[in-house]
Amino acid sequence: MNFIRTEIPDVIICEPEVHGDSRGYFMESFRRDRLETFMGRSVDFCQDNESRSSRGVLRGLHYQLPPFAQTKLVRVIEGRVLDVSVDIRQGSPTFGKHIAVELSGENKRLLFIPRGFAHGFVVLSETALFSYKTDQYYNPESERGIAFNDPGLAIDWQLPENELKLSAKDLKQPLFEEAAFFDFNTDLYG
């Protein structure tokens, strides 16, 4: 597996080695030992989630507050999405910046998103099967969000806003400046 640091170095693109022939392909989609060696710390995923969505569905931007903050390892099994991570670690050199990466069943990339980031994605294909691991269980009381269309974040979701389909909850999320932030200098993994 190849690991690529993004412009926000803590967000990592993981590229698996795909072995294909006339029968199809095989790949290791996750290797804990290799990820931990690259990052220099341990990760302990405890929950897997999956969603199927149609074109234009936008889920996010979501996160959970400590002590339920989540690291995520996300991938697309079928289809294409634009996956977005926003740094909400106050004091970070990249605070308020975001990374947008296309994930697809074709490119087989995964994205590692550490605690301290808001996360969301939009479906660019007719449908998409999206899967992700978390290192903390879902906790609805600690769940928070940020408005997908916050002008200060200026996220290009690659689809016109009138084509986006959001949940009632995601349509009511606060602007970035009103969000609950993490402290960059606090060990989120302690």
75, β-bridge pairs? 110, 131
Q: Report how far residue 117's alpha carbon sits from residue 10's, in angstroms, rounded to the nearest whole number.
A: 10
Per the CB < 8 A criterion, the answer to whether 53 and 83 are in contact is no
Catalytic residue among 25, 132, 137, 138: 132
**132 in catalytic set:** yes
Catalytic residue among 19, 25, 62, 189: 62
Give residues with Cβ within 8 angstroms of 77, minimum separation 6. Answer: 105, 129, 130, 131
**62 in catalytic set:** yes
Residue type, 160: P
- Dump strand ranges (E) for the chain: 2-5, 12-15, 18-21, 24-27, 47-54, 58-64, 72-78, 80-87, 89-90, 98-104, 110-113, 117-123, 127-134, 143-145, 182-183
The residues annotated with a catalytic role in the active site are 62, 132
